[in-house]
Structure 1
Amino acid sequence: MVFKRLLGSLGVGGPSVDTVLDSGAVTPGGTLSGQVHLEGGNADFTIEHITLELVARVEAEHHDGESEGVVVFHQHVVGGGFPLAEGEQRSVPFSFPLPWETPITELYGQGLGIALGVRTELGVAGAKDKGDLDPLAVRPLPAQEAILEALGQLGFGFKSADLELGHIRGTGQQLPFYQEIELAPPPQYAHQVNEIEVTFLSGPAGLEVILEADKRGGFFSEGHDTLGRYTVSHHGVEQTDWNAEADGWIRRLVEHRASHGAHSSYGSHADFSHGDHHHGDHRDDHGHRSGPGMGTAIAAGAAGLAVGVVGGMVAAEAVDEIGDFFEGDEEEGDEG
C-alpha cells in the first residue's frame, strides 16, 4: 500500500514522493531498506532533505481515561541537498537498522493488531511535508518467537496486543512506549490468573522479558498483579528447552507470594525479580497524546487459541489498512 501525495506545502505542481519498502517483514534491530522515488513538479526545486520517520499508534492512560495518538520513535535522514528538475524522476535508496525495541506486528505471518508505519518527510524550499506513509511489518526475533511458541504449547491463548505510552521501572527501556501481548491462561491456571501480559525489551545482547500476571481475588483477598523479569540471550536459542523454561517462569509468577521487591535467580537463562504490584505501579507515565483514534488491539475470538499454532493464531480480522490509523493525525500527537 502506497500513499502518493503532492507536496501540500507547495500546492499543485510541487514534487511528489513515493516510498517503497523492500518486501518482507524485518526483525527488531534488523535492517530496513527500500527506495524513495521522487518526481519533479512543474518547476525546478532543491530537495533539502528526505527524512524517514518510524511511527506507531500508541495508547496512554491518564486521569480522564485512555486516549490514543501517533508517536514518532525513530528518524533517519536518507538524502538531501540536491536539485530536482522539472518533471525529473529520481530514486534514492536507503538502508538503516530498526531500533532494537521496535514492536513486533506479526507472528507466523498473522497480524497482531499493532499499527506501525514509515512516514516520509520531504523538505523543499523551507517547507516540510509528511506526504507518504507505508505500513511496517516486524516479525519476532528467534528468542521472542521461541518464547511465544512455548507459551502457546503450554496452552496460553492470544487475546490482544497493544502499545502503551510510558516506561517500565527498573528496565533498560529506550523507547517512550512498550508492547504488551496479552494471553489467556490455560485451564490449569485459569482459577489463579485472569491473563498474562508479556513484554519484550530487546537489545544487542539479548532480551528483557517482563511477565505480568493479573491475579484473581479470593473470598478474603483482592486481585493483584505480580511481575517477573528475566534476561535471555540471543545466543543458544535452539539449544534451550523453552517449554520447560517458560513453564518454570509461569509457575513462579503465579505461585509467588513474597513481599514487594524480593530478588532471586533461577537457572542459567533467567534472572528473576518479582514482587506484588498494584496494576500500573511498576510503570511511569511519559508524555501525552491528543485525540481519540481507532483501537489497535484485536481479539482472538476463542480464549483457548494457542499462540504457537502456525497460521492460526489470530481468529479475528486483521487491521484493515495502516492508513486508517495515521490519516488525519494531528502534529501535537507526535512524540519525538
Structure 2
Amino acid sequence: MAIFNKVLARMGIGSARVDTKLYKDQLIAGEKIEGVIEVYGGNVEQEIDSIYLNLYTSYIREVNDSKVKENYLLNSFKIADPFVIQSQEKKEIPFSFDLPADTPVTMGRTRVWIATGLDIKNAVDPSDVDHMEVLPHPILHATINAMSDMGFRLRQVECEEAPRRLRGRLPFLQEFEFVPTRGAFHGKLDELELMFYFRAPGKFDVLMEVDRRSRGISGFLAEALELDETLVRFTVTDEDIPQLKSLLESVVARYS
C-alpha cells in the first residue's frame, strides 16, 4: 500500500498541497508583501526541493494584426530551502518581499496575482494562486482626481505592449485613457492618455499623449496621418500634488 501511495503522490493524487495567505491583499506598489505559506503533507512523506512565489500580471500585445493577452512574470522569489514534509504534517513558512515599484495598479482590466508552487522531485508540482489589489500611488490617485476635476472621464485602463523607445524595465506600459465630457477641453480633444514611469520614491515621469479633435478636411487628413497626436513628457513629485490640477491644465492647454 505504501508503494501504491507513493505512485499516486507522484501523479499528484494524495500529494502535498500548498495554500498561501496574505496578511494584506491591498497594497501600493513598493510596499512590503507579507504572509504565510501553509504546506500540508499528503498520504506519504515527500521531499520538497523549494517553495517559490511568482508575481504575475498580463498585458495586450499584437500578433499578426490580432490582440492577444500574455501573462508576464514581474518577479520571482524563492522562499524555502529543501525540506521533508511528513504524511499529514502541516508546516507554516512566513515570507515578506517588496512589491516592485513598477507593478501596475489593478484598475480596469489589469490583474495582479501571486502563484505559489512547491517543487517536488519526480512528482506533479502543486500550486496555489492568489489575486491581490494594487492601489494607485498618491501621485497617480491625485492625477486621476485632478483629471476628473478638469472634466475628463477615465474611460479605460489597460496594460499594452510598448514601443521599444518607450519601454522601461517592463515590455508594456499601463495606459490611463481619458475622454473630455465637460469643461474647457470638451470639443477640443478626442482623448488623452497618461502613462507613468517610476523614477524614485515619490517621483514619476508622466508620458501624456494628447489626441486633438479633427476639424475640417485638414484636420481629417492630420488625423489619418496621426499628426493630430502629441507626446509630452514631464516629471511629477509628491510636492506637486497640491497644485497638480493647475500643472496638468497648463500642459494640456499648451498642446490642445
TM-score greater than 0.5 by the shorter chain: yes
Greater fraction of residues in helix: 2
- 1:269-284 equivalences under 5 Å are none
Residue matched to 2:139: 143
Residue matched to 1:177: 172
Q: 154, 158, 163: which one pairs with 2:154? A: 158
Which secondary structure state, in structure 1, belongs to the residue aligned with residue 141 of structure 2? helix
Q: Distance in 2 between matches of 1:217 and 1:17?
A: 56
Q: Which amino acid aligns with 1:180?
A: E
Task: Compare CA radii of gyration and give the structure with the larger one.
Answer: 2
Q: 99, 118, 122: which one pairs with 1:122? A: 118
Question: Would the aligned equivalents of 1:227 and 1:253 in 2 still touch at CA under 8 Å?
Answer: no
Residue matched to 2:5: none
Q: CA deviation at 1:12?
A: 0.4
| Cα offsets for 1:25-47 (capped at 9, x unmatched) | 11111111111111011111121
Q: CA deviation at 1:180?
A: 0.7
Structure 1, gaps ≥5 residues long: 1-6, 107-111, 255-336
Question: Would the aligned equivalents of 1:18 and 1:132 in 2 still touch at CA under 8 Å?
Answer: yes
Q: Which amino acid aligns with 1:212?
A: E
Residue matched to 2:22: 21
Q: Distance in 1 between matches of 2:13 and 2:123?
A: 14
Q: Distance in 1 between matches of 2:124 and 2:200?
A: 34
Q: Distance in 2 between matches of 1:199 and 1:98?
A: 19
Q: Which amino acid aligns with 1:38?
A: V
Structure 2, gaps ≥5 residues long: 1-7
| Cα offsets for 1:219-261 (capped at 9, x unmatched) | 213223211111122x4255x311111111211232xxxxxxx
Equivalent residues, number: 240
Which secondary structure state, in structure 1, belongs to the residue aligned with residue 146 of structure 2? helix
- What is the CA RMSD across the aligned residues, in angstroms? 2.1
Give me the TM-score of the superposition, normalised by structure 1: 0.66
Closer, same or farther in 2 for the Cα pair 1:164/1:170, shift >3 Å? closer
- 1:262-301 equivalences under 5 Å are none
Q: CA deviation at 1:132?
A: 0.9
1:91 matched to 2:92? The reply is: yes
Greater fraction of residues in strand: 2
Closer, same or farther in 2 for the Cα pair 1:100/1:9, shift >3 Å? farther
Q: 188, 194, 198: which one pairs with 1:202? A: 198
Residue matched to 1:242: 244
Residue matched to 2:51: 50
Closer, same or farther in 2 for the Cα pair 1:167/1:126, shift >3 Å? farther
